[in-house]
Amino acid sequence: MAEIKAPYSASDVAKWFIWRNRIEENDEAEKMTLLKLLKLLYYAEGCSLALNDKSLFDETIEAWEHGPVVPEIYAKYHDDPYNLPFNEDDSCIAEKFCPEDRECLEQVFQVFGAYSAWALRNKTHKEEPWLKATNNGQSLNHAISRDIMKSYFFKTYVEES
């Protein structure tokens, strides 16, 4: 049986968060950094798995020293992690997402985007997906299981709400 391909790339989701934060920056919101973006990708994927029973993107999420990381996104933006570029051609990125996924991304942005980058980093270090992937912080750079993410996000953010 063929595996179902996720509807977007991690780059698409990253562009959505950068775009969405640009709207808020006009209201004096915290600037999006690479550290925060990487954590929002993790939370978006976990919430999509738990709420909609599907992945947003196929790229691997790894447990690094400072929390979950999508290596392709890290590689794309690590040269200037405090000034993430946004191309005006990407201003219609929201239209790429179906309504259900836009709603999920918006909820993630509203809930988790309210945290600072470092607060998100610390939060992920206390959560089961990162802890299991790193053997409680002892072994870094391993893939975080989507199955563990789905289970954790469902019992932590869906059942408890």
Q: Which residue stretches of 26-98 are H helix?
A: 34-52, 71-77
pLDDT digits (tens, 9 = 90+) for 103-157: 999 999 999 999 999 999 999 999 999 999 999 989 999 999 999 999 999 999 8
CB crowding 10-20: b at 16 or more within 10 Å, else e: bbbbbbbbbbb
pLDDT given at position 152:
97
State the residue for tokens 């925060």. 36
Q: Given 3-state DSSP classes, what are the helix, strand and coil percentages for the chain, each rounded to the nearest 5?
A: 55, 5, 35
Strands 67-69 and 142-143: unpaired
Report how far apart, in Å, the C-alpha atoms of 161 and of each of 29, 109, 126, 147, 155 are.
Answer: 26, 17, 19, 20, 9
Structural domain contains residue 120: yes
With contact defined as beta carbons under 8 Å apart, do 93 and 19 qualify? yes
pLDDT given at position 123:
97
Beta bridge partners of 8: 57
For the ranges 67-76, 78-87, 125-134, the lowest mean pLDDT is seen at 78-87
Structural domain contains residue 4: no
Structural domain contains residue 109: yes
Structural domain contains residue 5: no
Structural domain contains residue 3: no
Structural domain contains residue 137: yes
Domain count, the chain: 1
User: Could you tell me the pLDDT band of residue 1, with boundaries at 50, 70 and 90?
Assistant: very low
Which amino acid type is present at position 153? F
Evaluate if residue 161 carries a pLDDT over 80.
no
Q: pLDDT higher for 74 or 94?
A: 74
pLDDT given at position 3:
59
pLDDT digits (tens, 9 = 90+) for 12-33: 999 999 999 988 766 556 789 9
Q: pLDDT higher for 83 or 43?
A: 43
| Structural domain boundaries, residue 33 | 10-158
State how far the Cα of 158 lies from the Cα of 99, in Å rounded to an integer. Answer: 19
Structural domain contains residue 21: yes
Structural domain contains residue 80: yes
